[in-house]
């Protein structure tokens, strides 16, 4: 039986990788509807490889739009909802948080409500084989000191930024639809992703582009904040597994067991580009700038639950992942140029 996916935010970084991953894996056994508002972060150039695929359709729209989401459930026999759609950048949420609350909290509610209406067959009973998956983040757990142990699924939620607070709010709503209505769903909480198609406001693509152009590299504060980096296709494989195999109501942490501080990452990019692109690129480009407000010191994920219960493990080492990422950005000048000059916005189908 063909499985029909409603993927939201599929024109963004992880969503576009996920759509390519599942179409490649399941081929004619799936049909994918990509619902994306095309905010500044949505880029249809990310989906060129699938845009003519007969098992894929793009719908421009907002997850907060009640009528549109209801109509999608009427038009298609949706089995899976995978909600990537979000305002995702911490710095933007510090400058202005409204869109974060609207999309991340209300948008999630609207998807849940419509999925419940479409799927419920009786009290606490749902159509067979359906599932809602909320793509959440390790940032809902807050921050760790250098010595504290990694976040587990039992770590209390304690978000600090408006971004992570809005994601935590969404998680609570999703959980409530399981606790109250027994809706078949899961939540995944992943650490920092990197890889192709990441919008260059995030650390790795931002530093790559600036470094290649020999511009100053703005490192916040001391540069010693730690993130747990995971190559994006490893996140995709984990989501795929949770969607198809996990028991409803469960939450899974996903992480690369790969903690690095920001200075390590920036120096890695400098060394890579000086070796493979221009010998004169050097650490002199590093510039320490004012710290991010409320900057979380360290994230670290304990992903033993998904490893033990579902047999997931990350396949791509940090060295391999960075090489794949740097080579992708080096080969995709046009993608970068279109993002930087804004012409990616002209592509609407």
Handedness of CA 58, 62, 64, 69 (dihedral sign): negative
Give the DSSP letter of residue 106. I
The C-alpha atoms of residue 237 and residue 315 are separated, in whole angstroms, by: 9
Backbone angles phi, psi at 23, to 5 degrees: -65, -35
Chain residues 157-216 in contact with ligand NAD, contact rule CB under 6 A: 167, 190, 192-193, 199
Q: Is 139 a catalytic residue?
A: yes
Contact map string, positions 292 to 321, toward ligand DAU, x by CB under 6 A:
x------x----------------------
3-state secondary structure labels for all residues of 24-93: HHHHHHEEEEEEECCCCCCCHHHHCCCCCCCCEEEEECCCCCHHHHHHHHHHCCCCEEEECCCCCCHHHH
Q: Stretches 25-33, 83-91, 106-114, 232-240: which one binds ligand DAU (CB under 6 A)?
A: 83-91
Question: In whole angstroms, how close is the CB of 99 to ligand NAD at the nearest point?
Answer: 7
Q: Is 323 a catalytic residue?
A: no
Contact map string, positions 119 to 148, toward ligand DAU, x by CB under 6 A:
------------------xxx---------
The C-alpha atoms of residue 242 and residue 251 are separated, in whole angstroms, by: 9
Question: In whole angstroms, how close is the CB of 118 to ligand DAU at the nearest point?
Answer: 28
Residue 35 or 174 having the CB closest to ligand NAD: 35
Residue 130 or 270 having the CB closest to ligand DAU: 270
If one asks whether residue 220 binds ligand DAU (CB under 6 A), the answer comes out as yes
The C-alpha atoms of residue 185 and residue 241 are separated, in whole angstroms, by: 13
Cβ atoms within 10 Å of 207's Cβ, excluding its own: 25
Q: Name which position in 26, 30, 39, 310 contacts ligand NAD (CB under 6 A).
A: 39
Applying CB under 6 A, the residues found at the interface with ligand DAU are 88-90, 137-139, 191-192, 202-203, 206, 218-220, 225, 227, 262, 292, 299
Active site residues: 138-139, 163
């Amino acid at each position: 039986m063909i499985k029909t996916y409603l993927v939201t935010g599929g024109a963004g970084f992880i969503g576009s990788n996920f759509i390519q991953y599942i179409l490649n894996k399941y081929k004619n056994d799936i049909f994918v509807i990509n619902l994306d508002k095309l905010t500044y972060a949505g880029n249809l150039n990310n989906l060129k490889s699938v845009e003519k695929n007969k098992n894929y359709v793009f719908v421009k729209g907002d997850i907060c739009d009640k009528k549109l989401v209801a109509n999608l459930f009427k038009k298609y026999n949706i089995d899976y909802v995978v909600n990537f759609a979000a305002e995702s950048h911490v710095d933007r949420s510090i400058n202005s948080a409204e869109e974060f609350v609207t999309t991340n909290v209300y948008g999630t509610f609207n998807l849940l409500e419509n999925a419940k209406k479409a799927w419920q067959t009786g009290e606490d009973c749902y159509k067979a084989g359906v599932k809602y998956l909320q793509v959440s983040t390790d940032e809902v757990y807050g921050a760790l000191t250098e010595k504290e142990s990694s976040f587990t699924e039992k770590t209390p939620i304690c978000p600090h930024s408006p971004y992570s607070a809005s994601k935590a709010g969404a998680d609570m709503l999703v959980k409530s639809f399981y606790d109250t209505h027994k809706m078949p769903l899961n939540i995944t909480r992943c650490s920092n992703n990197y890889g192709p198609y990441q919008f260059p406001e995030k650390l790795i693509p931002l530093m790559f582009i600036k470094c290649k152009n020999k511009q100053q590299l703005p490192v916040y504060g001391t540069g010693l904040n730690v993130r747990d980096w995971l190559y994006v296709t490893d996140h995709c494989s984990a989501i795929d597994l949770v969607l198809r195999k996990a028991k409803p109501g469960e939450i899974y942490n996903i992480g690369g067991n790969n903690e690095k501080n920001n200075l390590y990452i920036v120096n890695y990019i400098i060394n890579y580009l000086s070796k493979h692109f221009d010998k004169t690129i050097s650490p002199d480009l590093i510039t320490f700038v004012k710290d991010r407000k409320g900057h979380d010191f360290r994230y670290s994920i304990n992903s033993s639950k998904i490893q033990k219960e579902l047999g997931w493990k990350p396949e791509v080492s940090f060295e391999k992942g960075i090489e794949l990422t740097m080579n992708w950005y080096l080969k995709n000048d046009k993608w970068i140029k279109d993002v930087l000059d804004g012409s990616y916005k002209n592509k609407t189908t």
